[in-house]
Structure 1
Amino acid sequence: MERRLGKAHQAWTDELPQVLWAHRTTPKSSNGETPFSLVYGSKAIIPIDISMETNQFQDFDPKENKKRRREDLDILEERREMASIKETHYKQRLEGYYNKNVKPSTFKPGTYELRLNSASKAEYQGKMGQT
Structure 2
Amino acid sequence: MRKVMGTALLVAAAGLTIEYFAGVADFPTIPPGPFILGIAGVLVLALTRPRWPLVVGLIAALFVTVGGLIEGSVWHRIADPGEFADWLGVVLQWTGQVVAIVAGILAIRGAYFSRVRALGARSR
TM bucket (normalised to shorter chain) is 0.3 to 0.5
TM-score, scaled relative to structure 2? 0.34
TM-score, scaled relative to structure 1? 0.33
Q: Which has the higher helix share?
A: 2
Higher relative contact order (CA 8 A, sep 6+): 2
